[in-house]
């Protein structure tokens, strides 16, 4: 029998040098398929806003929408560790952070993830004190895309480099079991990974993180209208779907042959 993945098992993967593969899942069939493929870490990310709900960015995603998609993925009962993102403005205070983290857990999340370092440290500590595993997120923070005027690589200047390293250490000391590093320059991502005992999971941050996470639709070519520069799709299922649908539609117009 395949063991249910725990946060401790994810941490142990770093210790033994096993790369952590993580992907997004927003619904029951995708969570079930990815789990059957052996992915140990699944995230119901707030990227659901762009990929599934048609929003321009993640700042439009609500708690109710996150609960809905976490519950759908959780119904797959994956052996993988399943987490959910705390959406924009859902953790501005300690009380809100704990309350909303509990809502995601009630929906089926086994950990929660939130963006930021020292500025959200009280919230992080309170979530962990409430018995809820926490995953950090540093580097490019999608929920801040409007105030930053776009998606920018982080760690290019020394002050930013040092802040990322310090924030990563603070999150680890607070009890985070892992940290996502998004669009961090590879040398800085490598330094952070080497400095921490907990795993780093990179996205667009080079190959020296302890694991990698991607939006599944990007990996398989399921969202053809936009693909991040750091992603090389391994399939093109959008084209396959269009082809199959076209063949079916054309077949409807062809009268059946008679003997």
Contact at 8 Å (CB) between 23 and 43? yes
| Closest listed residue to residue 74, CA positions, set 98, 114, 103 | 103
Q: Tell me 221's DSSP state.
A: T
The 3 state secondary structure assigned to 21-70 is: EEEECCCHHHHHHHHHCCCCEEEECCCHHHHCCCCCCHHHCCHHHHHHHH
Identify whether 36 is a catalytic site residue.
Answer: no
Place of tokens 């993925």: 73
Directed axis angle between helix 158-174 and helix 186-195, to 10°?
30
Query: Of the listed 65, 115, 182, 191, which one is catalytic?
Result: 182
- Report DSSP letters for 123-177, one per residue: HHHHHHHTT--EEEEEES-GGGHHHHTS---B--SHHHHHHHHHHHHHHHHHT-S
Give the catalytic positions in this structure.
182
């Amino acid at each position: 029998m395949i063991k249910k993945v725990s946060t401790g098992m994810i941490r142990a993967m770093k210790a033994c040098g096993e790369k952590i593969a993580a992907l997004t899942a927003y619904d029951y069939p995708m969570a079930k398929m990815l789990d059957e493929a052996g992915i140990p870490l699944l995230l119901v990310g707030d990227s659901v806003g762009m990929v599934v709900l048609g929003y321009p960015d993640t700042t439009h995603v609500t708690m109710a929408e996150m609960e809905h998609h976490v519950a759908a993925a959780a119904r797959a009962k994956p052996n993988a560790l399943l987490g959910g993102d705390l959406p924009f403005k859902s953790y501005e205070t300690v009380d809100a952070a704990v309350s909303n983290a509990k809502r995601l857990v009630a929906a089926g999340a086994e950990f929660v993830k939130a963006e930021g370092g020292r500025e959200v440290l009280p919230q992080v500590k309170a979530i962990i004190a409430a018995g809820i595993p926490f995953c950090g997120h540093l580097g490019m923070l999608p929920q801040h895309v409007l105030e930053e005027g776009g998606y920018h690589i982080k760690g290019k200047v020394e002050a930013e480099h040092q802040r990322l390293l310090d924030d990563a250490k603070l999150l680890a000391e607070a009890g985070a079991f892992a940290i996502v590093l998004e669009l961090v320059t590879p040398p800085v991502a490598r330094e952070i990974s080497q400095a921490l005992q907990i795993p780093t999971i990179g996205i667009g941050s080079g190959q020296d993180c302890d694991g990698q996470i991607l939006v599944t639709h990007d990996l398989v070519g399921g969202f053809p209208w936009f693909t991040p520069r750091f992603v090389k799709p391994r399939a093109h299922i959008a084209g396959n779907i269009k082809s199959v649908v076209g063949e079916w539609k054309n077949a409807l117009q062809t009268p059946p042959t008679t003997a």
